[in-house]
């Protein structure tokens, strides 16, 4: 009996040992490689990009407040890898690990898609004040306090309503996202650091390479970033012209004011669009929506992030058929993500034929109970999701990194995929 127990323990040790060493370190970035890291903290979106010449871009830095009952409920993801640091502190730690420059890291660009807590932070009574100025450390402000940002880009504050107008601020003061207090904090941060070299600008719809390669652009002429939409202004597909879906004074949802961009490298195309939507109140495709308007000018892509985290108001059938990505990336933190009907649309081969792989940063128990076996279609339901593009944009892999510890070793690897 004792011999049997010893043998069992021995084989268990061997199994655990090999399982431990099977997680490889993620390969270092090299010139000529495009990396897109979807970071999972459980508190919102954060995407760290390293362009082929080493130019860096951070898209969003979500930081939902720990004071909300929902944040600590079963409806929300846990703070990962643990609660020893805040979400933006974990984002900073991640960037420090994978930044192309081992010393003296900066962020060449930071882009805020829109002003919701899970995308740029939220002030509350627990947020510490910076030693560099009279602003509280949350979201993108906390990241920028730790890693200098050279170029900060957002949707601005003037259109379609003036967010700096006192009357507008009074009307929005009771919103559940604390947009105005957090915006005032964000503006203080920007004012302080503008004296130290920070440049702030508003994303311009239709513009090509407002976000551009800063170091060796001549070596990667097939690389570009196209601004597709912002504040409901949508690129026409010609030159840098755009048309407006909203008029001055309109009050659409903050989500539909999101910045939308397309990153291209050779044959490879990547789309990300914040929280725009495309489904109306009764669940049908809305052809007047942001999704329906941007789809024709975005066109087919290789990798697309799910709009609005895959919430039920997003990914309408027309939009899905038009973009028809090979890889879907879901940046998830809530039991609202994904809507079951959204999952049916993005998986449907009646909407578009061919293979497609779906990855999520996390999947909550509530989703698993309600949606059930349909979730088996996901290739991965947890972890940091990294898209690594190489061979002049002809091929790419998807890596899943462990989000449960600070090593962030490779859990799984998919591909290579061929860019289309």
Q: State pLDDT tens for residues 398-409.
A: 999 999 999 999
**Pick from 177, 98, 94, 195: which is nearest to 138 by CA?**
177
The pLDDT of 220-233, averaged and rounded, is 98
| Mean pLDDT over each residue of the chain, to the nearest integer | 94
In a domain, 116, yes or no: yes
DSSP string of 349-409, one letter each residue: TTTS-S--EEEES---HHHHHHHGGGGGGEEESSSEEEEEEETTTTEEEEEEE--SSSS--
In a domain, 15, yes or no: no
Checking if the pLDDT of 10 tops 60, the result is no
Residue 181 is part of which domain span?
Answer: 30-418
pLDDT of residue 3: 54
The tens digit of pLDDT for each residue in 373-387 reads: 999 999 999 999 999
Looking at the structure of the chain, the number of domains it has is 1
The pLDDT of 308-313, averaged and rounded, is 97
In a domain, 124, yes or no: yes
pLDDT of residue 2: 56
In a domain, 195, yes or no: yes
pLDDT of residue 370: 94
Sheet strands side by side (includes 268-272): 242-244, 233-235, 223-230, 260-265, 268-272, 303-305, 327-330, 357-360, 378-380
- Cα separation, 261 vs 153, in Å, equals 12
The tens digit of pLDDT for each residue in 79-131 reads: 999 999 999 999 999 999 999 998 878 999 999 999 999 999 999 999 999 99
Checking if the pLDDT of 18 tops 50, the result is no
Q: The tokens of 399 are what?
A: 């890596």
The tens digit of pLDDT for each residue in 33-49 reads: 999 999 999 999 999 99
In a domain, 317, yes or no: yes
The pLDDT of 173-200, averaged and rounded, is 92
- Cα separation, 261 vs 271, in Å, equals 6
pTM > 0.85: yes or no: yes
Query: Given the DSSP bridges, would you call strands 357-360 and 327-330 parallel, antiparallel or unpaired?
Result: parallel
In a domain, 21, yes or no: no
Alpha-carbon distances, residue 217 vs 37, 51, 107 (angstroms): 21, 10, 17
For residue 83, what is the domain's CATH number?
3.60.15.10
In a domain, 163, yes or no: yes
**Pick from 352, 98, 115, 70: which is nearest to 256 by CA?**
115
DSSP string of 251-313, one letter each residue: ---GGGG--EEEEEETTEEEEE-TT---B-TTSSB-TTSHHHHHHHHH---SEEEPGGGG-TT
């Amino acid at each position: 009996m004792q011999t049997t127990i010893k043998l069992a323990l021995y084989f268990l040790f061997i199994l655990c040992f090999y399982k431990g060493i099977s997680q490889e370190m993620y390969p270092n970035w090299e010139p000529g490689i495009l990396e897109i890291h979807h970071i999972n903290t459980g508190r919102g979106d954060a995407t760290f990009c390293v362009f082929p010449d080493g130019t860096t871009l951070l898209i969003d830095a979500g930081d939902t407040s720990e004071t909300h009952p929902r944040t600590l409920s079963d409806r929300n993801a846990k703070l990962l890898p643990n609660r020893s640091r805040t979400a933006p502190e974990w984002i900073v730690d991640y960037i420090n690990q994978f930044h192309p420059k081992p010393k003296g890291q900066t962020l060449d660009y930071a882009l805020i898609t829109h002003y919701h807590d899970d995308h740029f932070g939220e002030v509350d009574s627990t947020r510490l004040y910076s030693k560099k100025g009279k602003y509280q450390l949350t979201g993108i402000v906390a990241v920028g306090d730790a890693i200098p940002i050279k170029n900060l880009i957002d949707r601005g504050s003037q259109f379609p309503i003036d967010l700096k107008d006192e009357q507008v601020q009074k009307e929005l003061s009771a919103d559940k996202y604390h947009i105005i207090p957090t915006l005032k904090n964000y503006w203080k941060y920007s004012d302080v650091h503008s004296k130290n070299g920070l440049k702030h600008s508003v994303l311009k719809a239709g513009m090509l390479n407002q976000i551009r390669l800063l170091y060796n652009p001549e070596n990667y002429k097939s690389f570009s970033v196209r601004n597709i939409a912002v504040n409901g202004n949508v690129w026409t597909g010609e030159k840098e012209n755009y048309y407006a879906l909203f008029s001055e004074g309109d009050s659409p949802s903050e989500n539909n004011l999101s910045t939308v961009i397309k990153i291209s490298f050779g044959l490879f195309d990547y789309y990300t669009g914040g929280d725009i939507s495309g489904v109306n109140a009764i669940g049908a495709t809305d052809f007047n929506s942001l999704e329906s308007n941007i789809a024709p000018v975005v066109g087919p892509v290789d990798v697309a992030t799910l709009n609005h985290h895959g919430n039920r108001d997003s990914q309408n059938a027309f939009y899905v058929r038009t973009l028809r990505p090979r890889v879907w990336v879901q940046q998830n933190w809530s039991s609202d993500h994904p809507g079951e009907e959204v999952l049916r649309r993005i998986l449907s081969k009646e909407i578009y034929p061919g293979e497609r792989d779906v990855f999520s940063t996390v999947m909550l128990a509530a989703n698993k109970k309600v949606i059930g076996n349909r979730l088996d279609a996901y290739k991965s339901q947890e972890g940091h999701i990294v898209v690594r593009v190489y061979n002049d944009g002809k091929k790419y892999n998807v890596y899943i990194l462990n989000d449960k510890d600070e090593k962030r070793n490779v859990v799984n690897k998919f591909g290579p995929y061929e860019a289309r």
